[in-house]
Amino acid sequence: MGLFYRKEQKGNPAPPEVTPSTPTVLTDGTLTRIRDTITWARESVKNRVSFDVSIRTEEVCDAVEALLLRENDLRSGEEAYIVSQTVLDYLPNALMPYFGLPRETAETKFLSNGKTAEHVLCEQLDVLKNQIEKILDRLIQEDEAELIANAKFLTDRFEREAFELPSEDTFGIEISQTATLWENMGITRVETRPMLKRRRNTQTLHPGDEKR
Amino acid sequence: MSTVITKGGNFNITRYDNTMNNLTVALGWADTTKGKDQPLSIDSSIILLGSNEKVLSDDHFSLLSALNVQKNVTAYSKNSYRTKDRDAVNLDLTVIPNNIQKILFVVTIFDAISRGENFSHTTDVYIRIVNPKTNVEVVRYNMNEPESTATSMIIGELYKYNLDWKFRAVGQGYFSGIAGVAKDFGLKIQKK
């Protein structure tokens, strides 16, 4: 890839400076650098590269951002290292050489491997996206397992120990159908008007009262 | 003069007045959550049990508010607004089927768990029996010490004893709401 790398070319700002490291946990500092690099990648491809490159770069960025929402669930160690390396190292090193090429050359000139630079970059971006999505898939599987376990717990608990109180509406509908049965059994409700609910110091005016 | 009984005590209504074929059972309470966004809401319900101490069928359970309103006017119904009674039910003892041996009166705090409420948020919970014709109180049970964390309470019960009808002050709390009461008496409240 170094073949295409032209650091000084105008219009291609360098990615955020990265200190090579192999973090075993995603520290706040590392997370900030990852977010900065994602922002840089999105801005760098905007209106400057082919649709194929643009969409793949966006997909890598989307996958990383989805993963960052679950940063607390990322396993420290290998997965943290993969995320960090993918964004801070592999992604800039894939994009920067491409940016150094005239767009027409990148899209039309065949390299020794029979592929255009654009084609090579797209393959690299697909690999990076798949790498990130593998981690996402692992987290989703864990979510599903947790969801199923929780559902089982709730089912076991409530089916074994408790009845659920039907809603007021359910009560109303069911009971009203049996209200006549209860009346036939000699049981009826008596209207009560609790003192606490009564309006005080009010008078009912009847037609003509105001004339008296 | 009304008789006031304590928890566990009973009162023979038939011996008190064997011509009193109609009873009004009234329930009351005071809410100590005044000023909160949602005032305390309590449902009164009634459960009819057979001789085996189990509910006769799911139709033998009802909220008092769901019953038909008494049609004939009585001295009690004319004056009920003067009382602190929240709910009241009239029972015609001559019509109640013979297979009903016990009638439970239950008060339940609505949506207690999600609202974090229980009977410690109430005061002056009572049940009383009134002669509807005369509006004279016959017997009363004031639940002075409600079980603070209970969310449902069997406050009292009417039951047959030989040929007599008697009233007992129960005051038994349940922490699992009406579900606990239902479970104890074989009521199959439908599951959601």
* Rounded-to-integer distance, Cα B16 and Cα A155, Å: 51
- Does residue A175 belong to the interface with chain B, where contact is any CB pair within 8 Å? yes
The CA distance from B66 to the nearest CA of chain A, in Å, is: 6
Higher pLDDT: A75 or B7? It is B7
pLDDT at A206: 36
> Does residue A14 carry a pLDDT above 80?
no
Cβ–Cβ of A187/B92 closer than 8 Å? Answer: yes
pLDDT tens, position by position, A50-64:
888 998 999 999 989
B111: closest CA among B121, B100, B99, B101?
B121
Cβ–Cβ of B191/A178 closer than 8 Å? Answer: no
The CA distance from A51 to the nearest CA of chain B, in Å, is: 52
Cβ–Cβ of B62/A175 closer than 8 Å? Answer: yes
Nearest residue in chain B measured CA to CA from A169: B66
Q: Provide, as residue numbers in chain B, all residues whose Cβ is less than 8 Å from the Cβ of A172.
A: 66
pLDDT at B191: 44
pLDDT at A146: 66
End-to-end CA distance of chain A: 103
Single-letter amino acid code for the residue at A209 = D
Cβ–Cβ of A195/B182 closer than 8 Å? Answer: no
- Among B66, B74, B86, the residue with its CB nearest the CB of A176 is B66
Here the ipTM equals 0.91
Coil, helix or strand at residue A66: helix
Nearest residue in chain B measured CA to CA from A178: B59
- Among B59, B96, B188, the residue with its CB nearest the CB of A186 is B96
Which residues, other chains included, contact A181 with Cβ-Cβ below 8 Å and sequence gap of 6+?
B59
Which residues, other chains included, contact A99 with Cβ-Cβ below 8 Å and sequence gap of 6+?
A9, A12, A44, A48
pLDDT tens, position by position, B35-91:
566 677 888 999 999 999 999 888 898 888 888 888 888 899 888 877 889 999 999
- Does residue A193 belong to the interface with chain B, where contact is any CB pair within 8 Å? yes
Average pLDDT score over chain B: 87
pLDDT tens, position by position, B113-147:
777 888 888 888 999 999 999 999 999 999 876 55
Cβ–Cβ of A188/B69 closer than 8 Å? Answer: yes
Chosen for mutation from B68, B96, B99 (greatest number of chain A CBs closer than 10 Å) is B68
User: Whole-prediction pTM value?
Assistant: 0.54
Q: Provide, as residue numbers in chain B, all residues whose Cβ is less than 8 Å from the Cβ of A185.
A: 48, 95-97, 100
Q: What percent of chain A has pLDDT over 90?
A: 26
